Structure 1
Amino acid sequence: MEGMEQWKVQVENWSSQLRELLHQFLQHVHQIPPAQLYAAIAVLSLTTLFLLSIRLFRRKKSNTIVLTGQGGSGKTVLFYQLRDGSSHLGTVTSMEPNEGTFILHSEASKKGKIRPVHVIDVPGHSRLMPKLDEVLPLAAGLVFVVDALDFLRNCRAASEYLYDILTNASVVKKKIPVLILCNKTDKVSAHTKEFIRKQLEKELDKLRASRSAISAADIANDFTLGIPGEAFAFTQCQNRVTVAEASGLTGEIAQVEEFIREHVKP
């Protein structure tokens, strides 16, 4: 009982102090000239609105999808399939980015308001890497296109390219989702997406080991991959990495469109 009485006395003291502080505050407010008080309220209100507008602006989701990968993997054909449903037969390997904002061709006949997608097709040529670094911070999602038909011959080079993407600061910090798209799967001799996933994970694991042995001064990447001491798997990435199949020439791109609409809402 004695402890309870002490607690009541302490609560009463706190209440008394709080009332005294509130009384002093109100007295101080009453001493402020009305013009100054109104000006202070106006400044506070404008500052609050400004900060809220910045937060709302930042929350606005990007509608940019970046296509990239090695030359000859079929990125340009995929770009045109998404845009107008054509394969543009005769298209050669691009040396300049293709870029456009459009309604996905498969959604062209849908009624109601549909959000356009801004697609940037960045060729895999090494001299265009600065362009990729420039557009990655804008991306709502990234599609890394792999030639499933000629995969084994290009596996090492594709893995090195993918390693640079998955350790890029923008991709890691913003957790940009990556879709590894195995293109040309309409061909009988094309490798399956599961085979390609496993091979890429093995190569990335080797790259992680070799690059970690290089001195820090020589490493251009911002982050390292995976969990130390464990074999690398895409599930260890801080951003979501998935694997899908497609055929740009035959228009079988439903999985790409699903990925786009998952990250660029209609």
Structure 2
Amino acid sequence: MAPLIAKNGSDKSRDLKEKKKISDESLYTELMDQWAHQLDQWVHQLEPWMHQVKQWIHQLDQQIRQQPAEQLYVALAVLFLTSFFLLFRVFKRTRSNTIVLAGLSGSGKTILFYQLREGTTHQGTVTSIEPNEGSFVLHSESEKPGKIRPVHIIDVPGHSRLRPKLDEFLPQACGIIFVVDALDILPNCRAAAEYLYDILTKATVVKRKIPVLIVCNKTDKVSAHSKDFIRKQLEKEVDKLRATRTGASAADIADEFTLGVSGEAFVFSQCHNKVTIAEASGLTGVTSQVEQFIREHVRP
């Protein structure tokens, strides 16, 4: 008798599972029917609204067709100007606030970076091996009343092996500050001019017309050269480079654009983008001309 009882118990368990399965399927079917019925009701309720919308569109079309052509032109002009104004406002709000600091190693870029951010030399900053980057209100403006837009400044290392990092930041730049050492410009003029030449011939800089400020740093020293002297020396070196690279084959150079006017000595005013020159001293905190350039291109 024991095996028979076990069999009967197994049959009852199987029957219960089958009944539960049928019950679940019935419940699922019932729920689906309810949802389908509800959806049909919603569609039925929307039909009058859809009909009304079609009538409104038809009436609007008739009114437009009855209007004189002059009024239509005026309406289209107003619509165009309104759209243009809105797009201009959006573009203005999203304008870049990034300034890139570039130049040879030892020119004083990093000290200048900390002067702009903190008003200090940051304990005599040494040559950077990684970019210094930060978004901040200029130190000279930190106590001004009202909301002031922060500036995003990137100090790119000047070592020749690290300069390719510059290409990562140029697409987002609204201005470039190229720092030169006003004390040691003569022995380093060729190298500085080559770096500057590479920047001024990059497609990103030329096509976007990114303005460049050449900053003659360390002008607090008695033996520092003037910005006019440095400008002329750089122009001479760029002119030599231009002649050399123009004569080279396209396979030997990577210039994306050319500089200057054929048959004329090179000057910075011939560049595709605006190039200006200023003086500063990172050690003594004389940075007013640099800050003026920044605020010309990053509005408060």
TM, length-normalised to structure 1: 0.80
Report what 1:12 is aligned to.
none
TM-fit CA distance, 1:127: 2.3
2:284 is equivalent to residue 263 of structure 1: no
Q: Report Cα offsets for 1:121-178 as digits up to 9, x if no partner.
A: 0011122222101101111110000000011010000000000000011110111000
**Match of residue 168, structure 2, among 115, 121, 134:** 134
Distance, in Å, in 2 between the alignment partners of 1:137 and 1:188 is 38
Q: 2:54 maps to which residue? A: 34
Q: Aligned pair count?
A: 226
Q: Where does residue 232 of structure 1 map in the other structure?
A: 266
Aligned to 1:178: 212
Matches within 5 A, 1:65-144: 65-144=99-178
Letter in 2 for 1:108: S
Distance 2:232 2:161 in 1: 29
Shift in Å, 1:188 = 0.5
- Residue 153 of structure 2 aligns to a residue whose secondary structure is strand
Report whether the alignment pairs 1:152 with 2:172: no
Distance 1:254 1:55, change over 3 A: closer
- List aligned pairs for 1:247-262, cutoff 5 A: 247-262=281-296
Amino acid at match of 1:213: G
Structure 2, unaligned stretches of length 5 or more?
1-52, 62-79
Distance, in Å, in 2 between the alignment partners of 1:90 and 1:263 is 29
Structure 1 vs Structure 2: percent identity of aligned residues? 69
Question: Using CA pairs below 8 Å that are at least 6 residues apart, which structure has the higher relative contact order?
Answer: 1
Alpha-carbon distance between aligned partners in 2 of 1:53 and 1:215, rounded to the nearest angstrom: 48
- Does residue 194 of structure 1 match 2:214? no
SS at structure 2 position matched to 1:83: helix
Q: Could you list the per-position Cα deviations for residues 203-223 of structure 1 after superposition, in whole angstroms to 9, with x for gaps in the alignment?
A: 000000000111112221110
Q: Secondary structure at the match of 1:111?
A: coil
Q: Which runs of 4+ in 1 moved over 6 A?
A: 48-55
TM-superposed CA distance for 1:185, in Å, is 0.4
Counterpart AA for 2:195: Y
Structure possessing the higher radius of gyration over alpha carbons: 2
Rate the CA distance shift 1:231–1:86 in 2: closer, same or farther, 3 A.
Answer: same
Letter of the structure 1 residue corresponding to residue 208 of structure 2? K
Preserved contact between residue 99 and residue 173 of structure 2 (Cα < 8 Å): yes
Q: Which amino acid aligns with 1:68?
A: A
Q: Which residue of 2 aligns with 1:13?
A: none
Gaps of 5+ in 1: 1-32, 42-47
Report if aligned partners of 2:111, 2:124 keep a CA contact under 8 Å in 1. no
1:76 maps to a residue whose letter is: T
Whole-angstrom CA distance in 2 between matches of 1:55 and 1:126: 40
For residue 167 of structure 1, the aligned residue among 201, 204, 211 is 201
Query: Cα–Cα, structure 1 residues 254 and 220, in superposed 2: closer, same or farther, change >3 Å?
Result: same
* 1:51 shift after superposition: 9.6
